[in-house]
Chain A
Amino acid sequence: MEVERVRDKVFEERPGFPTQYGPDRTDRQPGSPLVPHETYRDLVTVLLLTAMLFFLTAAIVPSLEKPRNPAETPFIVPDWYVLFSYGLLKLAEILPEFDMPGVLGLPGWRVTAGFWGFVLTNVPLIYLVLLPFIDRGRETRPAKAPLRSAVGVSFLFVWMFFASMYSVNNLILEKWPVIGSDDVLKAFMFVPPFLAFAGTYIGLRRLGYAPMHWWRVVPLMAAFLVTLAHSLLILATIGGWSQYGLVALFLGLLTGITFVPAFAVTWLPEKNALRAIMAVGGSLVLFTLALWFLLWYYDPASTFGTMVVLVPNMHTVFALPIFSFITAYMSLRRPYSTYEYLLNECYQCGKCHTVCPVTKVEDDAIGGLNLVYNSFKKQHDGVPMWTCLACDACSAVCPLDIKYSDYILEERAKVMGQPAVDGGGEE
């Protein structure tokens, strides 16, 4: 009886609740119809774009390059969107060429650099094929799928960028001879993608508030050890402190910047670790920059000498301190408002409102007091937040497992002037 009354009074007159079904429906359809509304709008857009094309072709004469001169070799480079593939073909020379023997009656064939280039071009595709099997989460947002995003950043941005850069390696070495040799450019293909992968993964895991334990230590400690080893190698190569005191000083500072995060995440409690990184690491970075600037100001030649020694090796001693500092900061920082971030998952299915016990008894709840919605939209003036029983009936039915009670906990603590992420304690 109650159901019929409600349906008659509330639902009947409203669009979106048809009482007839099937092709013979005669009642008013919700929304605007395809013909003529949508068709008309689309037609306007299409005509406008066509008009713009006509205008552009009439107004702008396409530039023609200078005539072909048989005397000079043209600079061969493909279009920008396949530069990476060209770079990988060039890079493939580091991989071995050999004869593949024929098996099972099939003819043998020669594995060439062309074949390797093809394989390398397809490496990101292999990841794309494998990802649905590795990362089986239901999240599609990049910030919520750390593994997927890290692979994406690493391969689709960094790796492809440096691969494209390698396609014009001779030009780059001509323009910036300070980089050193072709080998350095090759190293750019492998070190920065790995660092981008580790940094992105750790940072996003942290943002999603997943627990981060021992494995945060591993990349930072490895970065420190690699930097240390490489610094010692450089010193041994160039002859130690007496000859290049300035270089040794900078190497020490860079190693120190790498050491601080590694030490902090390994031995210090989390909150102190962030403080230590911000204090020591920040001052080290500033000190290094200041020293560099002063030296450059008073003695440009000597600074240039330091650069000449350091920059060809920059893929570790320069990249790793920056990586360590950013990764440690990202993996230790507390997002300002975690549960606002988590609540952004909500797609307003309204199950929480249906089960909320407070809504059942509040008099002004007839469309009025929706605790979850009002708190989420910050339309609460305190009432929904303090009326909530934190009984978690909403979280029990939430299809996305949003812990609304944790949000309440944090918001209440904020009102009382206390930040209280996860119970107000260290992770």
Chain B
Amino acid sequence: MIPEYGPGRTVPHPVLFRLLDSEADDTTVPEIKVEHRSEYAYYPGCVDYYDQEMQFSHANYGETNHGIIFDSSIKLLRAVGIEPMILDRSFMKCCGHDQLWQGKVDLFRKMRDYNAKIIKMLGVKTLITSCAEGYRTFRLDYKLDGVRVVHITQILFERGLRVPATGDAKRIRVAYQDPCRSCRQMPVDPVYEEPRELIRRVDNADLVELKTFRADAQCCGVAQMMYCNDKTKGLTYSRMDEAREAGADYLLTACPKCLTHFGCLHHENKWRPGEERYKYRVMDITHFLAERLPGPWPTGGNVDERRKEPPLPGKKGGG
């Protein structure tokens, strides 16, 4: 059946999804190389793909850094004494969340069966994701018997992450965006309290709530990467305006999709240095916490040390 009106016309990143979809068809298991075998596994998800897409798409010239989520997560997990097995994209597939919600259930099934097979093969006991959509998908839509699926903030909170005092006298106001997938869509273990508790552990951070928060939190504007138009931008605007009205210095989120779209709009509204419409930083919560931990970034942090300021619009790749 050829859909009359389906997601195909509206998905704004067609190449990315062609890539992810074509991955699903090849179900041969490649050689699996894991550096460190452990019953704790960390699944970074598709953030690297998004990074590629965001770096080279017309909308965002490389400011939003998704790769840092991976580095920050590893750094944080090491800080609480977990050396996770990394479920690399070289042998894992996309978790299939977007495909499922775009209606491509056959692709989702293929991805689910493949991933569940690999996870079972590797003997994973606890699956950690840093992505709200991944958390929901692995927890609800996969039937992983015997595998505990946690969001990274949950396990950091559970293992008692301690953020050392920065000694910074300047107070910062931090707002947290509740991603829909890890909060109100989870009938079991919604992630409300853990990220807030982790933010409170940063000594100079004041947690501020946005106008709508927890289960009533307004959507960031885009889910399952299906639209990018003035309507969705309007939603992202209204959410970012809430953060501006709350006087936040940081807008944190636990979902790479929220990060993508906040980051995109944040960058679009930066005309020249010092003239931003939104004078706060948009970050993933793992990035925020890992910045406040001492020690090196596990893989160099995907950060160009020479670059102090984000690039201006129109400069591709930050050059």
- The total number of A-B Cβ pairs within 8 Å is 101
B234 x A389 contact (CB < 8 A): no
Across-interface contacts of A425 in B (CB, < 8 A): 109, 112, 141, 143
A409 x B100 contact (CB < 8 A): yes
Give chain A interface residues in 352-392, CB to chain B under 8 Å. 355, 357-358, 360-362, 381-383, 386-387, 389-392
* A226 contacts partner chain B, Cβ-Cβ < 8 Å: no
B92-129 to A contact mask, C-beta < 8 Å, 1/0: 00000000111111101100100000000000000000
Across-interface contacts of B112 in A (CB, < 8 A): 425
CB distance from A411 to the nearest CB of B (A): 8
Contacting A416 at CB < 8 Å: which of B3, B143, B185? B3
B105 x A418 contact (CB < 8 A): yes
B184 x A395 contact (CB < 8 A): yes
CB distance from B138 to the nearest CB of A (A): 11
B226-244 to A contact mask, C-beta < 8 Å, 1/0: 1100011011001000000
Chain B residue nearest to A406 in the complex (CB) = B185
* A10 contacts partner chain B, Cβ-Cβ < 8 Å: no
A361 to B232 CA separation, bound complex (whole angstroms) = 8
Across-interface contacts of B143 in A (CB, < 8 A): 425-426
B105 x A393 contact (CB < 8 A): no
A358 to B226 CA separation, bound complex (whole angstroms) = 13
A395 to B112 CA separation, bound complex (whole angstroms) = 26
B223 x A391 contact (CB < 8 A): yes
B contacts with A, residue count (CB < 8 A): 38
Contacting A413 at CB < 8 Å: which of B105, B140, B141? B105
- If A391-B180, A417-B1 touch, whether A396 touches B221 (CB-CB below 8 Å) is no
A221 to B198 CA separation, bound complex (whole angstroms) = 51
CB distance from B149 to the nearest CB of A (A): 14
* A1 contacts partner chain B, Cβ-Cβ < 8 Å: no
A392-427 to B contact mask, C-beta < 8 Å, 1/0: 110111000000010001001101111110011110
Q: How large is the interface on A (under 10, 10 to 19, 20 to 34, 35 or more residues)?
A: 20 to 34
A389 x B7 contact (CB < 8 A): no
B1-31 to A contact mask, C-beta < 8 Å, 1/0: 1011111001000000000000000000000
B180 x A392 contact (CB < 8 A): yes
A424 to B235 CA separation, bound complex (whole angstroms) = 30
A71 to B241 CA separation, bound complex (whole angstroms) = 99
A424 x B180 contact (CB < 8 A): no
Chain A residue nearest to B214 in the complex (CB) = A396
- If A357-B235, A416-B3, A416-B105 touch, whether A424 touches B184 (CB-CB below 8 Å) is no
A362 x B180 contact (CB < 8 A): no
CB distance from A212 to the nearest CB of B (A): 15
CB distance from A427 to the nearest CB of B (A): 9
Contacting A409 at CB < 8 Å: which of B6, B101, B232, B235? B101
A401 to B218 CA separation, bound complex (whole angstroms) = 18
Give chain B interface residues in 169-221, CB to chain A under 8 Å. 180, 184-185, 215-216, 218-219, 221
A390 x B215 contact (CB < 8 A): no
- If A386-B5, A416-B104 touch, whether A424 touches B238 (CB-CB below 8 Å) is no
Across-interface contacts of A424 in B (CB, < 8 A): 100, 105, 108-109
Across-interface contacts of A409 in B (CB, < 8 A): 100-101
A396 x B184 contact (CB < 8 A): yes
A31 to B108 CA separation, bound complex (whole angstroms) = 53
B289-315 to A contact mask, C-beta < 8 Å, 1/0: 000000000000000000000000000
A70 to B280 CA separation, bound complex (whole angstroms) = 105
Across-interface contacts of B222 in A (CB, < 8 A): 389
Across-interface contacts of B227 in A (CB, < 8 A): 387
Across-interface contacts of B102 in A (CB, < 8 A): 412
Across-interface contacts of A383 in B (CB, < 8 A): 5
A198 to B91 CA separation, bound complex (whole angstroms) = 48
CB distance from A362 to the nearest CB of B (A): 6
A392 to B105 CA separation, bound complex (whole angstroms) = 20
* B224 contacts partner chain A, Cβ-Cβ < 8 Å: yes
Contacting B101 at CB < 8 Å: which of A362, A387, A390, A417? A390
Given contacts A391-B223, A396-B184, A405-B185, 11 further A-B pairs with CB under 8 A are A357-B218, A357-B221, A357-B235, A386-B7, A389-B219, A393-B219, A397-B216, A412-B7, A412-B103, A413-B103, A416-B6
A-B contact pairs, 6 of them (CB 8 A): A355-B216, A360-B238, A386-B5, A391-B223, A396-B215, A418-B103
* A residues whose Cβ falls under 8 Å from a Cβ of B: 355, 357-358, 360-362, 381-383, 386-387, 389-393, 395-397, 405, 409, 412-413, 415-420, 423-426
Nearest first, the 8 A-B pairs at minimum CB distance are A412-B103, A391-B219, A382-B5, A361-B234, A423-B141, A418-B105, A416-B103, A417-B1
